[in-house]
Amino acid sequence: MVKSDAITHLTSGAMSGLASCIILQPFDLVKTRLQQQRYQLKLSEGPKISPANSTIIGITKEIIGKETIFGLWRGTVPTILRNVPGTSLYFFTLSEIRSLFSRRHQTKLISSGSSLPILSNKENLIAGMIARGSVGFIMMPITVVKVRYESNFYNYKSIWNGLTSIVKYEGIRGLYYGYGSTVIRDAPYAGLYLLFYERCKLLISDRSSISATIVHMTSAMISGFSATTVTHPFDKLKTRIQLRPQEYPNFLRGALKVLRDEGFWSFFDGLTLRLGRKTVQAVIGWTLYEELVTLFKKKEKT
C-alpha cells in the first residue's frame, strides 16, 4: 500500500511537471533574456542594446527573428530534466511530510475536494518549505545549466557539455551557484503557496458547491499569483548569481549591488512574465496532480 501510494504521487507529479515544462518554457526563456538584457543596458561597456529590445515583445521578436519560433523553446530539454524528476520528487516528498504531520495528529481528515490531508497553516508552510528546499538542492546542477543554456552569455553544445564545462572551469561549487538565493526564493514560495492554496480550497468549498476541479484551479491561480509576487526579487538575484558569479558571488552582496546600481524597482524586472508562468504552472501542475492522485486512488479501490 505504501509502495503504491509512493508511485501514485511520483507518477502524478512527473506528468504534471512534464505538461508544465512544454507549455511554459517560452515564459522562462524570455524572462531570463529580459533580466540579462536590462542588466547589460546598465553597463557602459559591452555591446549596445536598444531599449526597444529589452522589452518582452522586443526580446520575443528578437528570439524568433534569430532562432525561428522554435527558439522560444531553447532550454526545454534541461528544463524537462530538472522539472519532471524535480516535480515528481517534490510532490512525493511533500506527501510524505504531510502524512507525517497527519499521523502525528492521528487524523484521517481529507481536505474538501482533495486527496490530501488537512493541516494547519504552520504545518503547510513548513511542509512546503522543507520539500522544496531539499529537492531544490538535488536538482541544482541542472538548474544552473538550464539558466545558462537559456542565456546567450554561454554557448553550451549540450547539457553534458554544460555540466563538464562548469566543473572544469569553476569546480563542483559552480554547479551550486545561486542555491542560496534559489532556496530563499523557492522555499518561502512553496510554503506560502501551499498555505494559501489549502486555505483557498477550504474557503471556496465551504461557500459553494462547485466541482473539485474548479476549486483546485481557482485556488492555484490565487495562490500562485500571491506567492510569486512576494518572492520575485529572489528570482532575479538567483539568475544574476548563476549568470555572473564573479560579480554577484552571494545573495547579500548581489542584493546590495543590484540596489546600488539599478535601484529598488529593478528587483521586479521580469515579474509580469514570472507571474504569468508561475500562475499558469500552478494551475496546470496542481490541478493535474490532484486529479491524477484522485484518479489513481479510485482505481486502487475498484
Inter-axis angle of helices 159-170 and 121-150, nearest 10 = 90
Give the DSSP letter of residue 71.
G
> Rounded to whole angstroms, how far apart are CA atoms 207 and 204?
5
Q: Is residue 80 domain-resident?
A: yes
Q: Give the whole-angstrom CA distance, residue 180 versus residue 250.
A: 8
Is 275 part of a structural domain of the chain?
A: yes
| Alpha-carbon gap, residue 232 to 135, rounded angstroms | 20
| pLDDT tens-digit map of 104-158 | 765 544 544 555 678 889 999 999 999 999 999 998 988 888 778 777 677 787 7
Q: What is the pLDDT of residue 1?
A: 46
Does residue 68 belong to any structural domain of this protein? Answer: yes
Question: Cell 516535480 appears where?
Answer: 87
* Residues 162, 254 within the same domain: no
Three-state SS for 68? coil
Name the grid cell of 80. 524537462
Overall number of domains in the chain? 3
Q: What is the pLDDT of residue 41?
A: 61
Asked whether residue 195 falls in the same domain as residue 289, the answer is yes
The answer on 21 and 119 residing in a single domain is no
pLDDT, tens digit, 9 for 90 and up, residues 175-195: 998 788 778 888 999 999 999
Does 117 lie in the same domain as 210?
A: no
- Answering whether pTM is above 0.85, one says no
Query: Degrees (nearest 5) of the Cα angle 126, 131, 133?
Result: 95
Question: Do residue 243 and residue 208 come from a single domain?
Answer: yes
Would you say residue 300 lies in a domain?
no
Q: Does any domain span residue 301?
A: no
Range of the domain at 211: 186-293
User: Does residue 20 sit in the same domain as residue 95?
Assistant: no
For the chain, state the CA radius of gyration.
20
